Structure 1
Amino acid sequence: MSTKKGLYKFKPLVFQPVKPIGNLKDGTPLPMPRSGHRIVCYGMSFYSFGGYNPKISSDDYLDEIWHRTQPLFQELWKFNIVSNTWTRIEGLGSMPEELASHSAVQVGPNMLVFGGTGMPFGDSSSDSLYMCHLPTGRWQKVLTYGSKPLPMYGQGVCVSDGKLYVVGGTTGYLYSIDVHCLDLTTRVWDQLSAKVRNMMSNPEERYRHEIVEHGSCLYVFGGGRSRAACQLSHLPTFNITERAWSHTETRADPTIGTFPQARRCHIASKVNNYVYVHGGYDGAEAFADLWRIDLQTFCWEKLPHKSPVPLYFHSAAVTEEPCMYMFGGVKSLLEEKRTARVTKVWLTIGKLQYICWEALCHYAPNITSLPPASLLQMGIPSYIVDNLQHQTPACG
């Protein structure tokens, strides 16, 4: 094989640009730059829903749905991480109309979408839950009961033990730090935090923060308001069993003696006992840095590599390997310029089978375009070949 591209090297914790292609089989173009969308991983693909871009004109994007919803994208895209191929999925059934700063989580073969806002921001916020069956692209609105959150956007959400936790958010005018829980089996909401706000014990109300569940506690990372961002030197902590707020003091990176800067509109991904935080901004500065915190010691570590450009209002999801994929976001603070860039970061040493496939694609980048029979004859494993085929109905 030719080695003109240089030797392949597996690089954990290094940002690697991914060069995507459209789905040539269906003649599908690449997604337009966007922010305020959400992505989730399922199988060997990640799926992106929604987003916002006021810089695109009707002439720039000749799409019937876009003309109806602009500057919002009522679109579901699938990115196959085996072939680096985008496919726009035909949305069947009832799709959400609130397409910016919603939340999305993956539960089995489904993506759950909650909250979000239409245009103008805050004037048409959502308190509805939608479910998309990713293998078929079929949507349905989920009927829920009980004390559900107010219609808001920019909430922090996570799923643990069959429950969806929702913290905070904004109406565009008012901010919240309320904690709600939806039992995904009974579909009944419960407000876990006190209905009357305690100014002394509750943390600052916020939006565009991130939350993770660990050890029966919800930890809140960053967030803020229109002109403020929250610190990461301590983490607002909600004890689910006791239904009470407290604060967890974190420890600075012992090598550099600092904490991550305050930020909102960042990403946070939990892998085992670590949470990885990337990007965001504080209203004046956008960030490209990558940090992780150990949830056993609560010690921060600034990782040595940065993303190619600062990003905020982007989205990320982690595969089972685990490899973190990032898509979209605002890349220019002054121009509010958005991107459609896809970047990946191996968070740990991946499985050998996926490292080998990555190496093979490095040396033979056109291998994904070969017919399945040829790939199998070459000895490519069937699970790789199967994942190169697009099963979800494409749009167009």
Structure 2
Amino acid sequence: MENSEKDVKYNSNCYFSKGFTFPKVIYSFKPYKFVKCLPVTSRSNNNGQQIPIPRSGHRIACDNVNLYSYGGFNPKVSPGDRRTENDEDWDNYKPLFREVWKLNLASRIWTKLSCAHIPDVLASNAVTLAGNVLMVFGGTGVPFGAHCSNDLYLCDLSKQNNLSFTFVKASGDVPSPRYGQAIVFHNKYLYTVGGTTGYEYSLDIHCLDLQSKVWEQIYVCNTGCEEPPGRYRHELAFDGNRIFVLGGGTAEVAYGFEVIPSFNLMIRGWESIKTVPDSEHKYPLARRCHSCVQFSDIDDKLYAYIIGGYNKYMVFKDVWRLDLTTFQWNKLCDSYPYPIYFHTSAITPNGKVYTFGGNANFNPSDSVSCRTADVYAMWVTIPKLKEICWEALLFYSNNLHMYSDSFLFNSGIPSEFIQRINNSR
């Protein structure tokens, strides 16, 4: 039987009195402010898990509807943890997570996806989302560096009832197996930059034509004085012509942001970009294992954002924005809720950043960190009014996924937003 209007129950942000609903807390749109996304755990997944186990070294990607998480690492899961019961993949691959999770951004429901042929390298991969296709490149198993990958796998996420990773068989100048590399996907080309074997660090650049399935060696560093040093766990930004390398490092060194290496695809050579400091805070401190997203704002200006990171001595929680036209740094007023590294971030096409998991230092006075499964979100733009209205509706009523499409439509919710909820059912 279809739910009636009087059956609708509101979340703790509202109270009901004499037939009227009144908000306890008034929604307000706050850009550049991290908000915790509390998961809805009203149903269990395949083996009883309701949310992912805390992890680091994983990667996420997202669209306007879902966030997808691939892989990860946690050596601190106890042998008797009930969340790993009857999990054959955990038994075979622990302390790595051979799994793909989906978080519906409207309902905040996590779902562990049933997916065939998941690769067995599950930490420090490079991951991106191209349309409906999840692309996973490189990475490592454990011990780190003992089994690295130079393989590309694709998973068409539109085939929700028949998900499977497909190995891309390619020829040409294939890059060597590494982990901690970073990738850019543009038009039909996949660029991979840097990474490590666990012993050697590189900033070589290779390009895969996804139509011809042929790799091309774009640039091999020879440690010349004009070349940036090799590194891993760096991040990339891209303006359509230049690949900007942001941070990263080795086991001993982290690289800074005052001068940024830039690879010009037109001339196939490295350039050094001198950035402009924030008027008060100057530059981000050198770091690796941070996260980064980029977004083109309503004024068509392209920005990169870096969050957190680590430099061997210090874990960061600061957030910085780099204007990729003027190369001006700005430190945002708000920071991540706690110092974090080996986390991962992604941004929706509408301009909302999501950050998931990582090694968290909840007590900055203590050097001990622990892995987390927290999800935080932050707007980095002023979206369309309909998006703000949708977010306000979800703020006041977090159970819309429980109601039929016709009931929601008759309640005045546009079809495009009903489809977002549908994806969690």
Q: What is the aligned partner in structure 2 of residue 239 from structure 1?
A: 264
C-alpha distance 339-191 of structure 1, shift in aligned 2 (>3 A): same
Work out the CA distance in 2 between the residues paired with 1:3 and 1:53.
43
* 2:180 equivalent to 1:161: no
Residues 104 and 424 of structure 2 are in contact (CA less than 8 Å); yes or no, is this contact kept in structure 1?
Answer: no
Structure 1 length-normalised TM: 0.94
Q: What is the aligned partner in structure 1 of residue 249 from structure 2?
A: 224
C-alpha distance 384-215 of structure 1, shift in aligned 2 (>3 A): closer
* 2:244 equivalent to 1:210: no
Residues 229 and 263 of structure 1 are in contact (CA less than 8 Å); yes or no, is this contact kept in structure 2?
Answer: yes
Partner of 1:263, secondary structure, is coil
Partner of 1:287, secondary structure, is strand
Work out the CA distance in 2 between the residues paired with 1:193 and 1:23.
51
Q: What is the aligned partner in structure 1 of residue 202 from structure 2?
A: 176
Identity of aligned residues (%): 41
Q: Match of 1:297, as an amino acid?
A: T
Work out the CA distance in 1 between the residues paired with 2:414 and 2:37.
23
Work out the CA distance in 2 between the residues paired with 1:379 and 1:2.
17
Work out the CA distance in 1 between the residues paired with 2:223 and 2:229.
11
Q: Alpha-carbon deviation of 1:336?
A: 3.4
Q: What is the aligned partner in structure 1 of residue 8 from structure 2?
A: none
Q: What is the aligned partner in structure 2 of residue 7 from structure 1?
A: 26
Partner of 1:340, secondary structure, is coil
Structure 2 residue runs without a partner (length 5+): 1-19, 297-301
Match of 2:322 among 293, 297, 305: 293
Work out the CA distance in 1 between the residues paired with 2:201 and 2:155.
28
Match of 1:107 among 108, 122, 130: 130
Any residues of structure 2 matched to 1:251-330 within 5 Å, and which?
251-254=276-279, 256-272=280-296, 273-330=302-359
C-alpha distance 205-23 of structure 1, shift in aligned 2 (>3 A): farther
Deviations 1:15-68 (A, max 9, x none): 010011246275651110001111111341010000000110231122222111
Partner of 1:40, secondary structure, is strand
Q: What is the aligned partner in structure 2 of residue 348 from structure 1?
A: 381
Q: Alpha-carbon deviation of 1:198?
A: 4.2
Partner of 1:101, secondary structure, is coil
Work out the CA distance in 1 between the residues paired with 2:61 and 2:114.
17
Q: Alpha-carbon deviation of 1:258?
A: 0.9
Q: What is the aligned partner in structure 1 of residue 5 from structure 2?
A: none
Structure 1 residue runs without a partner (length 5+): none
Q: Alpha-carbon deviation of 1:349?
A: 0.6
When structure 1 is superposed on structure 2, of 3-12 and 263-272 the one drifting more is 3-12
Q: What is the aligned partner in structure 2 of residue 66 from structure 1?
A: 90
Partner of 1:21, secondary structure, is coil
- Give the count of matched residue pairs: 389
C-alpha distance 55-28 of structure 1, shift in aligned 2 (>3 A): closer
Work out the CA distance in 1 between the residues paired with 2:115 and 2:380.
32
Deviations 1:339-361 (A, max 9, x none): 00010010101122221121112
Q: What is the aligned partner in structure 2 of residue 130 from structure 1?
A: 153
Q: What is the aligned partner in structure 1 of residue 105 from structure 2?
A: 81
Residues 153 and 166 of structure 2 are in contact (CA less than 8 Å); yes or no, is this contact kept in structure 1?
Answer: yes
C-alpha distance 188-125 of structure 1, shift in aligned 2 (>3 A): same
* 2:61 equivalent to 1:40: yes
Q: What is the aligned partner in structure 2 of residue 121 from structure 1?
A: 144
Partner of 1:279, secondary structure, is strand
When structure 1 is superposed on structure 2, of 315-324 and 156-165 the one drifting more is 156-165
C-alpha distance 373-284 of structure 1, shift in aligned 2 (>3 A): same
Partner of 2:392, secondary structure, is helix
Work out the CA distance in 2 between the residues paired with 1:213 and 1:184.
19
Residues 112 and 131 of structure 1 are in contact (CA less than 8 Å); yes or no, is this contact kept in structure 2?
Answer: yes
Q: Alpha-carbon deviation of 1:164?
A: 0.9
Work out the CA distance in 1 between the residues paired with 2:424 and 2:340.
32
Residues 33 and 379 of structure 2 are in contact (CA less than 8 Å); yes or no, is this contact kept in structure 1?
Answer: yes
Work out the CA distance in 2 between the residues paired with 1:131 and 1:317.
18
Any residues of structure 2 matched to 1:376-395 within 5 Å, and which?
376-390=409-423
